[in-house]
Amino acid sequence: MSIHCNAKNGDIAKTVLMPGDPLRAKYIAENFLENARLVNTVRNMLAYTGTYKGKEITVFSSGMGMPSMGIYCYELYKFYGVENIIRIGSCGAYSNDLNLSDVVLVDKSYTEGNFAYEWSGTEEHLANSDGELNNIIENTSKEINIPYIKGNAFCNDCFDGYLDDIPSFINRFPKDLNIIACEMEAFALFYMANYLGKKASCLLTVVDSYFKKQSSSSEEREKSLNNMILLALESGIKI
């Protein structure tokens, strides 16, 4: 059984939304779910299970970075019978076509890191999201009129906003992948889902843009994330 989660058997739904921030999980539970109950408090990595339009959904925080995501998604898939995880997070934009508050649906996640090698001894740096989950999200987007941009994302071990030489960082992006955004967790999620035969997807909200020199305040970020949260929830009830 999990050593990082004190939820009991039956406390976690088959479909999980996974923000990085524990307080964002709390915000979603309080503002979007009905009859939400707290099911995990270990390390204050808060998790809540409730219902959305009659379907049971769990919102479970992942923390920051691939190691943290790797631990929590593995335990959810392996020990709690979770079948589907939709990461919902923030990202930096590396495309002129993206603006603040845009929602990104990640197709493939690329990393320079060694997560896959450390797990299984394989040199893998590209992981795919689940096509079936993505199709549900894309169809739901049209139904509820919340637009998205689909593309590939870079999954970094360092917060890119603090890098001294971002042009060199961008120059390392594989040119054939057309990377449009950067975040820190999706590769670990996709890799573990594929390894365990489960499903994973990732929705991101743009909160800063390198090319347009734009960024959001913490208050603006919370408001702009609501569209992404709603898209994930509406998709989740169709899985």
Extended beta strands in 147-192, E state: 149-155, 179-183
Compute how many other C-beta atoms are within 10 angstroms of the C-beta atom of residue 164.
6
Judge whether 208 counts as a catalytic residue.
yes
Extended beta strands in 61-162, E state: 84-93, 103-110, 126-128, 149-155
Tell me the C-alpha distance between 212 and 210, whole Å. Answer: 6
Tell me the C-alpha distance between 18 and 23, whole Å. Answer: 12
Q: Which two tokens stand for residue 124?
A: 């893998």
Tell me the C-alpha distance between 185 and 189, whole Å. Answer: 7
Q: Which of 102, 107, 130, 208 is catalytic?
A: 208
Catalytic residue positions, numbered? 208
